[in-house]
Structure 1
Amino acid sequence: MARLLFELLKPWIELDSEFSIDVANLQLDSRKVSVGDVFVAIQGHAVDGRAFIDKAISSGAVAVIADASEEKPHQHVEWRADVPVIYLSEIGSQLSYFATFFYQFAPMQLIGITGTNGKTTISQLTAQWIELLGKKAAVMGTTGNGFLHDLKPAVNTTGNAIEIQQTLSQLQQQGAQYTALEVSSHGLVQGRVKALPFAAAAFTNLSRDHLDYHGSMEEYAEAKFSLFSQHDCQYKIINADDEVGQQWLKRLPDAVAVSLTKPQSMSAHPSSMRRSLWANEVDYSDAGISLSIDGHWGEADLQAPLIGAFNASNLLVALATLLSLGFELDQLVQVAPKLTPVIGRMELFQASRAQAKVVVDYAHTPDALEKALMALRVHCKGKLWSIFGCGGDRDAGKRPMMTEISERLADESIITDDNPRSENPAKIVADMLQGAVNPKHIHVIHSRYQACQYALQQASENDIILLAGKGHEDYQIINGQTVHYSDRETAQVLLGLSL
């Protein structure tokens, strides 16, 4: 999709005909530059891309767009080996607009999902539902980018501004009519989706996470809220059962309120004052979740093969999002039983012989662990086991909180390694044990495989073992090295199931 350089840069700088250079692609990473690409050299949080300009040129870059400085101010142009280096101010904050102008993907319905927990589940349930109704939907987020049957790995929940536009352009060419994007707080603060027109955006919940980056819960919340206040967003869907969501509904009078309870509990905004969707009844069984729903779009009964109260909330948020976009309630309800659990999200593994069940979930925050254990308790006829850890080089404040939650809600707790990264695993465990009332009753087994093996050896057939923290991931980062490991494979191997 070649573009002429001077045409691309018109909104930022006027260039003459000598800049009629065909541009094949945009690249933020000099290592990915190929012949015909333009290298965008920005001063990032950790790396200054301007240090790699010469490398990008030697790899075939036909032009470079770089962050301006005092020495090389806005609109300054220099030539290196017959390649123009064009300096512009504040490229980082404008990168999403720049990428949009370059890729110009045809309009598709974009759905943004933000919040601490539930983004992956809601985005994939939304895409599944759309596909079940005969339209093409893709996802972008933690478990990968693309169509659900062919996800490509993603390094970050929300890619950089250029990667997002590249991917959306590719998905549009492959026929995607809708794309559900997980929108992280990092991505919002760094402006990675600033220029995207969201047909709908949904908020799941807010709990402690990423404080090593944001510094406080208030800053974290405002980062999330910016999706609704500072971005192009037509429909806004808010989980009214979350305390932060209730506060946001007061700031967003046009938002759709979603709740697992009747509307009188929806903050100060009953259904008569805003569009809303709620559940009159919710039933949980081994077969899944049954909801009797009501609200702006009418009444219905809905069944889906998912586990736990938070998945009931995820279902309602996804449903309200699709209803806001014009999908019919009766059609959505009709196909809901065909929805499937998301890989690594409350994913159940059970052998045919008499053994405990193993549930693999991505829960790696205090709130997510608490909700996962509470969700499994209603399904558990025996003991509830909790295997969990905490990541290294991340917010240490949540470590004792995780242990307190597990000790309070599970019958048996095993602390194990998550991603220690560069930290000593023993130090992480010591921090976690600070949250225990009876630390002698907490098992510590650093190997995740051995921790699950021990639990299965000790558990009865009516027990449920929650293997929390990794979910869909197939690696661990230990002592700075990435090694292959999968909770899902662990459960399958130990239960004698086929991989």
Structure 2
Amino acid sequence: MFNWNRVIKKFIPKLLKKFYHFALAKLAAFVYGYPSRKLIVVGITGTGGKSSTVYLLARLLEAAGWKVGATSTVFFKIGEWEKLNDKKMTMLGRFQTQKMLRQMVRTGCKAAIIETTSQGIEQFRHLDIDYNTVVLTNLYPEHIEAHGGFENYKRAKGKLFATHPKTSIVNADDANAEYFLNFPAENKIKFNLADLRDLKLDEQGIYFVWNNARFDLPLLGKFNAYNALCVLTIAKSLGLSIEEIQKAAPAMQNIPGRLEFIDEGQLFKIIVDYAYEPKAMAGLYETIKMIPHQKVIHVLGSTGGGRDKARRPILGQIVGKQADYAIITNEDPYDENPQEIIDQVTKGALLAGKKKGENLWRILDRREAIGKAISLAVAGDLILITGKGAEQAICVANEKKIPWDDRRVARELLKNNMSEEKSKYPIGSFVDLFTNEKGNRRLRAHCVLQADGAVICTGDTDVLTALDRGVSVLIDNEPRYYQPKDGAKFLLAMSAHFSNSYLFASEITQP
């Protein structure tokens, strides 16, 4: 198919490109009847946290009774209809955006929440969208090569604040806050982490008091404390009472592809996260310190298409230092050679002390890389799969997109692995449970896998009673209990649970 965009990028001078994008934006708004004028439009920009803020705000407003629309890296939403973003584009083209805004109006939406990117702004995709509220989550170096420097990047973000919104909301903890607060707005609102009293972060979530109201949210990490505070501040600015916000706040959870746990009953943890640049990666590692785990096995890559090449070895170095095992793989190469990208990330991991074939692997096929991580994991380990989150495609050469979802692939591989695990242990496989007191081993239970897939244990009555109640293994921060009816999983759980203690279990032994 003939691609006008590639021709425009290649042959049209920069000034004419700007006019082309400007004219398209004007035409799109005219064709669809300037729909944003009939909506409360909230524009979210920044470097980190944009997509999460859009998602959480949409959930909170919806729980408060508002009908909302949203566009972001994570998803598209028009009232009750929504789907994951499968475009590999955060801010849609001018005609697509205006069309969606008109659909929001026709569906009866009260508000539209738009993740507004610096590159989208440079292409006038925000033009003739009447932003009621504009928000800055934070700002730090990113997309620097595309913009030609941090100051250009900051100025691009600033153009959103130059649209004369009714309200501007800025993270006052950010070093660049004053720059954005200097743009004109009827209401200027600042938020900072000090607004949250009695802030507590743990492996279950974040807890704080804001405006004398208590909030307990199942979101992990300091960065999500900022995201939640940003959302609450926006909601208050839109006229919701503190009581309404507090009542709706429990809806703020389960962001697809953002610290998302993948659970198929395995004895180790898997987290899929979008972190693709150094600051987000460092934040992820800070967060997982709160999650009980043994080894960390990290699957990562880096995007192509000329995007911020300098960060590739930095990502490798972070993971090389923090993870026990690093598996470097393909991500979104676009027109670049994917193996060269992998090699550039690998350089950083090698500098951090990793050794190829020992605790560092380069695997071009992303599915194979995730499978390798699963094969390395044992009970209590933590696998991180980063860079894509809930994205629905891998972008390769000639603007082709291969359908993909890290979460789906991880689930498929887990199910296959667990089926293989079951077949690995034939009928008659067993685990013996001993006590070890003053050097004397005493057999307390003998547990054998039966033909029906369950386990039968014989031995001391008190031990058998306890085993019938189940054996716990810590999964996703909570004890999960496996019972004899769970077969090989129960035997594996026994081996993992009873180790280096008064009671200890053998490994699974085949007949």
The answer to whether TM tops 0.5 is yes
The 1-side partners of 2:198 and 2:23 are apart by: 47
| TM-aligned CA deviation for residue 129 of structure 1 | 0.6
Aligned residue for 2:43? 112
The 1-side partners of 2:7 and 2:291 are apart by: 51
The 2-side partners of 1:193 and 1:335 are apart by: 29
The 2-side partners of 1:380 and 1:362 are apart by: 21
The amino acid across from 1:383 in the alignment is K
Shift of the 108–421 alpha-carbon distance from structure 1 to 2, 3 Å rule, reads: same
Alignment partner of 1:419 is 2:326: no
| TM-aligned CA deviation for residue 484 of structure 1 | 2.6
Deviations 1:211-264 (A, max 9, x none): 232011111111112211x2131111112333333654577795322222x2xx
Aligned residue for 2:352? 437
Aligned residue for 1:96? 25
Aligned residue for 1:184? 117
TM alignment of 1:60-79, pairs within 5 A: none
Deviations 1:260-284 (A, max 9, x none): 2x2xxxxxxxxxxxxxxx2123223
| TM-aligned CA deviation for residue 314 of structure 1 | 0.8
Aligned residue for 1:483? 402
Alignment partner of 1:216 is 2:149: yes
Q: Is the 8 A contact 2:321 2:353 kept in 1?
A: no
The amino acid across from 2:115 in the alignment is E
The 2-side partners of 1:434 and 1:68 are apart by: 40
| TM-aligned CA deviation for residue 390 of structure 1 | 0.7
The amino acid across from 1:191 in the alignment is F
Q: Is the 8 A contact 1:42 1:48 kept in 2?
A: no
TM alignment of 1:389-468, pairs within 5 A: 389-394=301-306, 395-435=308-348, 436-440=351-355, 441-468=359-386
Q: Is the 8 A contact 1:195 1:231 kept in 2?
A: no
Aligned residue for 1:369? 281
Alignment partner of 1:312 is 2:225: yes
The amino acid across from 1:361 in the alignment is D
The 1-side partners of 2:50 and 2:413 are apart by: 29
The 2-side partners of 1:437 and 1:43 are apart by: 42
- Secondary structure at 2:415 match in 1: coil
Q: Is the 8 A contact 1:208 1:367 kept in 2?
A: no
TM alignment of 1:204-243, pairs within 5 A: 204-228=137-161, 230-243=162-175
Shift of the 144–46 alpha-carbon distance from structure 1 to 2, 3 Å rule, reads: farther
- Secondary structure at 2:248 match in 1: helix
Q: Is the 8 A contact 2:47 2:140 kept in 1?
A: yes
The 1-side partners of 2:207 and 2:281 are apart by: 23
The amino acid across from 1:496 in the alignment is K
Shift of the 242–404 alpha-carbon distance from structure 1 to 2, 3 Å rule, reads: farther
The 2-side partners of 1:419 and 1:91 are apart by: 28
Shift of the 242–447 alpha-carbon distance from structure 1 to 2, 3 Å rule, reads: farther
Match of 1:492 among 411, 415, 423: 411
- Secondary structure at 2:167 match in 1: strand
Q: Is the 8 A contact 1:42 1:91 kept in 2?
A: no
Deviations 1:375-434 (A, max 9, x none): 222223322332210112222111011112222333332211111222222211221233
The amino acid across from 2:74 in the alignment is T
Aligned residue for 1:146? 77
The 2-side partners of 1:97 and 1:482 are apart by: 29
Q: Which runs of 5+ in 2 are unaligned?
A: 419-511
The 1-side partners of 2:167 and 2:297 are apart by: 40
What is the total number of aligned residue pairs between the two structures? 404
The 2-side partners of 1:422 and 1:398 are apart by: 18
The 2-side partners of 1:346 and 1:68 are apart by: 42
Q: Which has the higher contact order (CA 8 A, sep 6+)?
A: 2
Shift of the 366–387 alpha-carbon distance from structure 1 to 2, 3 Å rule, reads: same
Shift of the 490–43 alpha-carbon distance from structure 1 to 2, 3 Å rule, reads: closer
The 2-side partners of 1:470 and 1:68 are apart by: 34
The 1-side partners of 2:184 and 2:292 are apart by: 39
Deviations 1:419-475 (A, max 9, x none): 122222221122123323214143322222222222222223322221101111222
- Secondary structure at 1:124 match in 2: helix
Match of 2:196 among 276, 279, 286: 279
- Secondary structure at 1:150 match in 2: strand
Q: Is the 8 A contact 2:261 2:272 kept in 1?
A: yes
Shift of the 477–95 alpha-carbon distance from structure 1 to 2, 3 Å rule, reads: closer
TM-score (norm 2): 0.72
Alignment partner of 1:386 is 2:298: yes
Match of 2:53 among 112, 122, 126: 122
Cα RMSD over matched residues? 3.1
Shift of the 155–390 alpha-carbon distance from structure 1 to 2, 3 Å rule, reads: closer
Aligned residue for 1:338? 251
Q: Is the 8 A contact 1:370 1:409 kept in 2?
A: no
Identity %: 27
Q: Is the 8 A contact 2:46 2:117 kept in 1?
A: yes
Deviations 1:101-138 (A, max 9, x none): 44132511001011122211111111111110111011
The 1-side partners of 2:312 and 2:6 are apart by: 35
Rg larger in 1 or in 2?
A: 2
Q: Is the 8 A contact 1:240 1:249 kept in 2?
A: no
- Secondary structure at 1:378 match in 2: coil
| TM-aligned CA deviation for residue 327 of structure 1 | 1.0
The amino acid across from 2:353 in the alignment is N
The 1-side partners of 2:246 and 2:20 are apart by: 46
The 1-side partners of 2:245 and 2:209 are apart by: 14
Shift of the 248–231 alpha-carbon distance from structure 1 to 2, 3 Å rule, reads: closer
The amino acid across from 1:165 in the alignment is Q
